[in-house]
Structure 1
């Protein structure tokens, strides 16, 4: 019995760290340890500053510029546009190298945009109006999106050296790095923001400095000059291949349509819900940040559950059931607004914490097969650009939802007014907005049956060929080592 407990503890607590150490050593030998650290670091910093493109927008534009929930949702949509055009960055980076290099010079430019954007927000005289602030938010959002595309592209290029298993390990490392960035950055950011008035301090002392780290990291990135002939002809050929694959191959087109629609049909009630929690039940931005930290931990658990139990589950099955569970979990916000949790003896904080943990675990249990499916959809030769296109469709769907949700929020009358000298928002129709949002989640689940294949592999014959090639290469290496 003692051995059994010891072996279980070793497998779950010690072995993951041993595997991580093994991956660092092996990948460091193949592609360079500095490259591994820089790539993981870019993802970590992206997660660390995740608050800037989420709750940070809500609190700054509500507290300082006194915008309505609908106006904040519209601003959020504008700021996220750079994430909807990630494929354009990929096409530019691939087609127009700077000094014959595709990665390092553009990483410098991305870091510069991040730094200037954060600096503009940090200095009040530069961003004294909501329009100017939106412009600086847009600039650093573009910088972060560009560095994200570069990191993805670098991983795709190195994946061929690392092999299929090594490439998967690299992706896992980067996603875990991102989640650890969120885990550390969210409580730090929310504590500095406080009741909503410390947003500029956050951008000045934390985000501006952290964007400088990306610039420093670019100095240590080594890249050999490219010998591939690029330019306008190369660009147009890439676009032709991309459009042909995306629009005329039904195995690719239908999942892309689901990726877009699944985000577009769900009403975005995040801004009014965040303001409702502060106004009606006194949940401050700092407390909401700590609730998100609990959700991030459960997100890591969700990713581990997929890797351990569900990686061979058909896409249709796992995407439908996770969407079904998310539909049920969406009802938690309605329960909170109706105060049913209090009626059954559940205090707000434990109820919010439990709901956040469950939502994040299910969301990331769905996120990993979604990414696996997206990676399988990418045609040979334009993997990085096509993956960026798929992520653009996913982000674009969410942005479409923000645009029509802003109109919905206005139509539902969620506008501020003065009551006893205080600025109070009318949340009388918030429940209806939440029901509409829940309906969108359910619709996304139904669309799975129409648009998602009932397999765990989009192109099984292609994977079989790749596995056969890897096996033959491994056999050749084995024979060579025996001769030596």
Structure 2
């Protein structure tokens, strides 16, 4: 009788050390784990020969610290060097603080200075989000075209300089609607460039130290949430005291805070030889032509959708085009990503479809919460503090994932998260119906709890997907793959927002009319049940974030 065929797996360490590592006795009998153990030993030997520190080795000269958080930061520094603080600065200052305060200031500028309604605000904000959706093209540019001898550092510096100039422009010039859209596009483009570089570098380092990929991702997202907490605590007062334009001037500090360490060389990247410093390198894309084609398609569709929703007035036509584009993106992206790993392709498709199937009413709710006479009429300061609690919810979500869920199957994580999403939507309905007052809960506390809960759940979807991507990402294609992944997430989110605008128009939630707001929220709540069947169709039932990723699905 022939021996059983061994499962082919990606060449990554078997299980993380910090995050829910299984004991050796449980895994000793597994041939897959044994193969990974042998591979890990070879990697250790190679690293010692090159004088490098291995992930799993303790430094005997260092005593153990009694503070787990400090120990964790020491581990990140030992494994990832100066990239750990640089990545956390970028996520904390640019993604958490500057992005949060800038969008908040723009909302009040549109509502109070430009006198726009919630539906129009939603369309403009979604259109201004398009640079995040063209990140695949930016990723291809970074992977193929070095500038001054660097594939990553030069683009990070350009992004920081561009955001600095954009913040100074809005801070010093009173803008109309068109000018504000250009400003938001410029800021998002600069932030997308910085985010692209950090994600691509994190992908490379996360693959080199796969046992600690979840630690690196949690560190970056925790920094983003911490920056968001500071932004939430400060942005309401900043907008109220020094105006939206003054808030933009404050954000110049975030650009400088990342620009300086980037110029000091904190990004782990060697400069190319003189003859290669500006020479394009496209050979890696020939290995994955479908991935490159999808990256271009994602960017083109993102721009097309934004133009449609900016210039087309017919609600039904906009909604129809959005759904058709979403179906095309989903099918093509799954085919491309499944060529890298079938599990990765199915999981990414689910994340995309669940975002499309969840229309958002964010800007309409924002106007109802702040300006509607029969609504809560929350002040600018209270709305900012609400976001502060929301970012704290993200930290709680990351903490729950890191400590309890990394050994859960992906299917269980997503099912629990989606049911929690549905529950949080019921809280919105209770707030609009004013039922919270019947049980003595103030509007502010009820809205804070809903926001924190909603954002805490959001990380239960994206972070596991990123950890999965770390393990399967091909070498030298990190920027393109992670840019495409982020674009897929952003296009799904924006498609949901576009459909939410159509939902507002369908129920007549425009021009300050909120008579049918509760009907829109009920429709939104029902739509949050639609992704549940997709979980059982697309998500593997046994694979966990800690497991090595098989190259092929087992045959039934």
Q: 1:257 aligns with which of 336, 349, 367?
A: 349
Determine the structure 2 residue equivalent to 1:442: 529
Question: Unpaired segments of 5 or more residues in structure 2?
Answer: 1-64, 295-334, 552-556
The partner residue of 2:166 within 88, 96, 117 is 117
Q: Find the counterpart in structure 2 of residue 219 from structure 1.
A: 263
Residue pairs, 1:321-332, within 5 angstroms: 321-332=416-427
Q: Deviations over 1:422-474 (max 9, x none)?
A: xxx1111111111222122211223212222213348966579xxxxxxxxxx
Aligned 8 A contact 1:192 1:198 in 2: yes
Matched, 1:185 2:253: no
Q: Which has the higher contact order (CA 8 A, sep 6+)?
A: 2
Q: Distance in 1 between matches of 2:103 and 2:537?
A: 32
Partner of 1:150: 197
User: What residue number does 2:244 align with?
Assistant: 199
Note if 1:173 corresponds to 2:219: yes
After superposing the two structures, state which structure 1 stretch, 35-44 or 318-327, moved more: 35-44
Contact 2:143 2:477 in 1 (8 A): no
Quick check: 1:119–1:203 contact (8 Å CA) kept in 2? yes
Q: Is 16-25 or 310-319 further displaced after alignment?
A: 16-25
- Asked if residue 412 in structure 1 is aligned to residue 507 in structure 2, the reply is yes
The 10-residue stretch of structure 1 (341-350 or 102-111) with the greater mean CA deviation from structure 2: 341-350
> What pairs up with 1:312-461 in 2 under 5 angstroms?
312-376=407-471, 378-416=473-511, 425-457=512-544
Query: Offset of 1:250 from its aligned partner?
Result: 4.3
Call closer, same or farther: CA 1:312–1:254 in 2, change over 3 Å: same
Q: SS where residue 266 of structure 1 aligns?
A: coil
Q: Deviations over 1:397-431 (max 9, x none)?
A: 01112222223223322333xxxxxxxx1111111
CA-to-aligned-CA distance 1:24-64 (integer Å, 9 cap, x gap): 5523xxx543x332222111112111324543332221111
8 Å CA contact 1:48–1:182 kept in 2: the answer is yes
Aligned to 2:187: 140
Give the aligned partner of residue 7 of structure 2.
Answer: none
Q: Label 1:22 to 1:218 Cα distance change in 2 as closer, same or farther (>3 A).
A: closer
String of CA shifts for 1:278-326, please: whole Å, max 9, x gaps: 1221212220211221222232122111111111111111101210111
The Cα of 1:142 is off from its aligned counterpart by 0.6
**2:426, 2:525 within 8 Å by CA — same for their partners in 1?**
yes
Q: 2:68 aligned to 12, 16, 34, which one?
A: 16
Cα pair distance change 1:117/1:238, threshold 3 Å = farther
Compute the TM-score of the two structures, normalised by the length of structure 2. 0.73
- Structure 1's 236 and 18: CA in aligned 2 closer, same or farther, altered over 3 A? closer
Distance in 2 between residues matched to 1:455 and 1:87, nearest whole Å: 31
The 3 A distance-change label for structure 1 pair 371 and 236 is closer
Aligned to 2:251, what secondary structure does the other structure show? helix
Which residue of structure 2 lines up, in the alignment, with residue 289 of structure 1?
A: 384
Spell out, residue by residue over 1:242-281, the C-alpha distance to the aligned partner (whole angstroms, 9 max, x if none). 2564265643332222122111111111111111111221
TM-score for the superposition, normalised by structure 1: 0.83
**Contact map agreement 1:94 1:102 (CA 8 A) in 2:** yes
Q: Is 1:44–2:92 an aligned residue pair?
A: yes
* Structure 1 residue 386, shift from structure 2 partner: 1.3
Instruction: Say if 2:210 and 2:471, in contact at 8 Å, map to a contact too.
Output: no
CA–CA distance in structure 2, aligned partners of residues 235 and 67 of structure 1: 47
Paired with 2:287 and 2:489, the residues of 1 have a C-alpha distance of 21
Bigger mean CA offset, 323-332 vs 300-309 = 300-309
Distance 1:386 1:458, change over 3 A: farther
- Separation in 2, partners of 1:412, 1:123: 39
Partner residue, 2:133: 84
1:101 aligns with 2:141: no
1:59 aligns with: 108
Q: Is the 8 A contact 2:201 2:478 kept in 1?
A: no
Q: Unaligned 5+ residue runs, structure 1?
A: 1-12, 417-424, 465-484
How far is the alpha carbon of 1:370 from its aligned partner? 3.5
CA contact (8 A) 2:76 2:216 kept: no
Q: Contact conserved, 1:246 with 1:253, CA < 8 A, in 2?
A: yes
User: Retained in 2: the 8 A contact 1:337–1:431?
Assistant: yes
Change over 3 Å in CA distance of 1:208–1:18 after alignment to 2: closer
| Distance (Å, rounded) in 2 between the aligned partners of 1:373 and 1:160 | 10
> How far did 1:94 drift?
0.8
CA distance in 1, matches of 2:541, 2:285: 34
Aligned alpha-carbon RMSD (Å) = 2.6
